Amino acid sequence: MKNELKTKIVSRRACIGIIGLGYVGLPLVLRFSRQGFKVLGFDTDPEKVQALNAGRSYIKHISPEEIAAARFSDHPEKRFEATVELGRLGEPDALLVCVPTPLNRHREPDLRYVEQTTRDIATTLRSGQLISLESTTYPGTTEEVMLPVLRRNGLEVGQDFFLVYSPEREDPGNPVYQVHNIPKVVGGVTEGCLRLGEALYGQIIDRVEAVSSTRAAEMTKLLENIYRAVNIALVNELKMLCLRMDIDIHEVINAAKTKPFGFQAFYPGPGLGGHCIPIDPFYLTWKAREYDFSTRFIELAGEINTYMPYFVVERAVQGLNEKCGKSIKGAKVLVIGVAYKKDVDDMRESPSLKLMELLLQRGAGVDYHDPYIPVMPRTRRYQFNLRSVPLTPESLASYDLALIATDHSCLDYGSILTHAPLVIDTRNAIAGGNNHPKLIRA
């Protein structure tokens, strides 16, 4: 069974199934399709499925032409198809699971999407299928959560079906590092599983890095993101200290990064955003409790990063009071940028959403401008009924405060500073304006 499946993969006769057609799954669809595989995409959102089957894109950095090239290939047997029919999960030879792994309100792992997807796969699981979990999670998930469910129909892992963990490393909007040139870590439940995982990803990715187990692969992903979370917390804490000491933290960082060894630059902001860094560290802190271990660095970093939106709002309260003689209650605030990072249309875990919530709780009136997010979508936690307002001299002048939360490259920050009565800059978008009477760093 293993050799037969490997032959299908290497000859690119295997059908690839991608479960979850978002920022992780859709780039994989396109890469497998470009490399000559037939791809079947699964998603529970019928609007996404309809858009893809019509050759349309719903992600800014993925063009409709890329979707159409996969969907309407000159080779009908190789065309990409999207579906909501989970009963078809038995068709692909390899299934890649790219579903969300959020936290619940107690900051504990919420694996409902992984668990449900695993049950769906188990319903149609057949001999000769390879399953790869790509969603970020705690060490042990693949073998402790997925494997027992997949075994229930009597098939044996490593002989009848094959199971690996290979963490996604997608960076939306990155023009340099995309699916093919980001090394892929793979760990298998058995040696045979691992070799098939290597074979699969080796068809589309320049370098595949095998590790000894699924647990090692799961921990690798967590280490990558915990490293970033801890270092971002460090510069966020130093930013708050530097503001008290009247030192420009960005000047300090830029000077420090001239050292050619031993230093990597991280930058402060209004809080953490994205689908990984605000969430993943807490997966490990939760799992560590099972071993009577306290992950103190991770928890402290989480406290600092979680505090940052509160710090920004306090700076806004203080700035309105001292510079404008106004209270935050009743003030009109324009939040500029609601994506979690510059030049993308991705709002997942964006600190802008927490900023807006805190401002509303203080009694402020809140609007937003983001050229990439014309309508604020509903999220699992936030339900703002707002549309992006135009960024004109007249609209800027009508607000008491403009709060730069995301530094999109296309925005005219000189105009923002000129026409807004007061500006809070959380991203150093307005460089060199430290002494400007209308500018507050936060």
Residue-by-residue DSSP string for 138-162: -TTHIIIIIHHHHGGGS--BTTTEE
**Residue written as token pair 């830029």:** 254
Looking at residue 200, its pLDDT comes to: 98
Instruction: Give residue-wise pLDDT tens across range 48-107.
Output: 999 999 999 999 989 999 999 999 877 877 789 999 999 999 999 999 999 999 988 888
Q: Count of CB atoms within 10 A of residue 327's CB?
A: 14
How far is residue 62's CA from residue 196's CA, in Å, rounded to a whole number? Answer: 29
Looking at residue 79, its pLDDT comes to: 86
Report how far apart, in Å, the C-alpha atoms of 333 and of each of 269, 316, 363 are. Answer: 18, 10, 11
Angle 349-352-354 from CA coordinates, rounded to 5°? 75
Q: Count of CB atoms within 10 A of residue 165's CB?
A: 32
Looking at residue 174, its pLDDT comes to: 86
Looking at residue 167, its pLDDT comes to: 97
Looking at residue 48, its pLDDT comes to: 96
How much is the pTM? Answer: 0.92
How far is residue 88's CA from residue 95's CA, in Å, rounded to a whole number? Answer: 11
Looking at residue 236, its pLDDT comes to: 97
Listed residue (125, 118, 131, 199) closest to 162, CA to CA: 131
What amino acid positions are annotated as catalytic residues? Answer: 276
Looking at residue 232, its pLDDT comes to: 96
How far is residue 239's CA from residue 268's CA, in Å, rounded to a whole number? Answer: 7
Question: Which pair of tokens denotes residue 77?
Answer: 């047997």
Please write down the long-range contacts of 62-69, taking CB distance under 8 Å and 24 or more positions apart. Answer: 62/26, 62/27, 62/30, 66/30, 67/30, 69/33, 69/34
Task: Spell out the domains of the chain, with CATH numbers in brackets.
Answer: 2-212 (3.40.50.720), 236-441 (3.40.50.720)
What is the C-alpha end-to-end distance of the chain, expressed in Å? 59
Amino acid (one-letter) located at 277: I
Looking at residue 227, its pLDDT comes to: 96
Which stretches of the chain drop beneath a pLDDT of 50? none
Helix (H, G, I), strand (E, B) or coil at 347: coil
